Amino acid sequence: MEILKPAVAGTLESSDAQVTVEPGGEGIELSLQSSVMNQYGRQIRQTVLDTLARLEVRDAKITVVDKGALDCTLKARVECAVFRSCGASASGIPWGGAVR
């Protein structure tokens, strides 16, 4: 998928994450802040990159401010931000396809 415009999903509440995607240059540019960085930073990074790969996002600037979200929450916030960025959040979500 192609990131067409900036979009945000999620909040800064405890146990949530706020994900911002913007059109970027070549490749994925990920900036990550987390309240649990020392113990889960590596896993959060991996989850975000895996989710982007599954959605076939190849070029994007993505900012994640994590407040201790579980993996399922992180995935959902990344997916939502990506679909919002290409105007697909009202319809056309590939339930059971890329989103499962």
Partner 1 sequence: MKNAVGREIPDYLLAGGKEVYQGKNYMDGKYIQKASPRTRRYEKPQESKLVDSIKAALEQCGAKDGMTFSFHHHLRDGDYVVNMVMAAAIEELGLKDLTIAATSLGNAHDPIADYIEQGKVIGIQTSGIRGRMGEVVSAGKLKTPAIIRSHGGRPRAIEAGEVHIDIAFVAAPTSDCVGNCRGIGGKSNCGSMGYAMTDAKYADHVVVVTDCLVDFPNMPASVEAIDVDAVVVVDSIGNPKKIASAAARISQNPRDLMMAEDVARVIASTPYFKDGFSFQTGVGGPSLAANLFLERYMDERNIKMGWAIGGICGPMVELLKKGKVGKVIDVQDFDLDAVNSINQTPGHYEMSASQYANPANKGAFVNKLDFVVLAALEIDTGFNVNVLTGSDGVLRGAPGGHPDTAAGSKVCIIVTPLTRGRMATVCEHVVTVTTPGDCVDVLVTDYGIAVNPLRPDLIECLDKAGIPHVTIESLKEKAYSLVGRPDDLQWEDQVVAVLEARDGTILDVVKKIKPYQG
Q: Where on the chain is the footprint of partner 1 (CB under 8 A)?
A: 14-15, 32, 35-43, 45, 67-71
Cβ 36 to partner 1 shortest distance, Å? 5
Alpha helices in the chain (DSSP H): 37-54, 71-85
Q: Are 38 and 90 in contact (CB under 8 A)?
A: no
Choice between 5 and 42, CB closer to partner 1: 42
Cβ 45 to partner 1 shortest distance, Å? 7
Cβ 91 to partner 1 shortest distance, Å? 33
Closest Cα partner for 22 from 74, 70, 78, 60?
60
